[in-house]
Amino acid sequence: MEKLLLGNVLPASPIALGCMRMAGMDDAAAEQVVFTALENGIDFFDHADIYGGGESEEIFGRVLKNNPGLREKIVLQSKCGICKGYYDASKEHILEAADGILKRLGVDYLDALLLHRPDALMEPEEVAEAFETLHRTGKVRYFGVSNQNAAQMELLGAYMQQKLIINQLQFSIAHTGLVDAGVNVNIHSDHAVVRDGGVLDYCRLNDITIQAWSPFQYGMFKGVFLGNNELYPELNAEIQKIAEEKGVTDSAIAVAWIMCHPAKIQTIIGSMNAKRIADIAKAQDITLTRQEWYRLYLAAGNPLP
């Protein structure tokens, strides 16, 4: 399986497994999920300190403890900065959160640490100091952000010694804001409104890998578009047609659509079902044509000028 080079420095699978739903699982079930992912070419595991109140990381940590040598076979990422009722990107919080993450996972270092949400009160100097401390002490190899626009990343990057290599953003066939404005340049249309400062092009210009979260959702946590024939009948019909032609599931086509983009976006899936993980992983072997990509884009209700 061909690897992605995140930020042009960190090799990883083009599909990542998000571990938010691992909270509440028993250790044996969690272990099955992890090894199913690995058996299907997925070696990147995404966490956050708020997932299950830290329980997801604790369970994953026990899987690592029970399987010596597993840590060296995977790429491990977590996120911090979301607190109850506020966001916190202060130096003190980042350092404390990173130590908590490492303790729960039972590891000495993270391959990547991301700021989970933009903090309106962020002082970039503090973030840079925290990141430098974590890097110097060997606790974190690389850094990134989540849900930030181009200017926010530029501001933070101006103070950092390390390079930001990741931005985690919502993207799916039914949540296409990353590409809409680029398709509708100079058009008087809601699709032409630039809401993210041109973050897709910014990331491509600066070798920052976009990680797509919620690849099967429409809106922000409004629901899943796959199988939703009430809201997305045309899209589901088109997905099913292409899926049948290629002998895969509809979820594999939804991920292949994201992976088709030349920005080399890494897709984060969140299933804890072994069969579904294996089915989705087949997207790594699918190449959609330009015509198929646009057929799906149009079927989701997006106009072409």
Q: Is 109 a catalytic residue?
A: no
End-to-end CA gap in the chain: 37
The Cα 57–Cα 105 span in angstroms is 5
Residues 6+ apart with CB under 8 A from 178: 169, 171, 196, 199, 200, 210
Instruction: Please give the single-letter amino acid code of residue 107.
Output: V
| Interior/surface letters 49-82, b for 16+ CB within 10 angstroms, e for the rest | bbbbebebbbbbbbbbeeeeeeeeebbbbbbbbb
The count of residues in the chain is 305
* Catalytic residue chosen out of the listed positions 51, 142, 218, 232: 51
Residues 6+ apart with CB under 8 A from 286: 246, 248, 252, 253, 256, 259
Point out the residues that are catalytic: 51
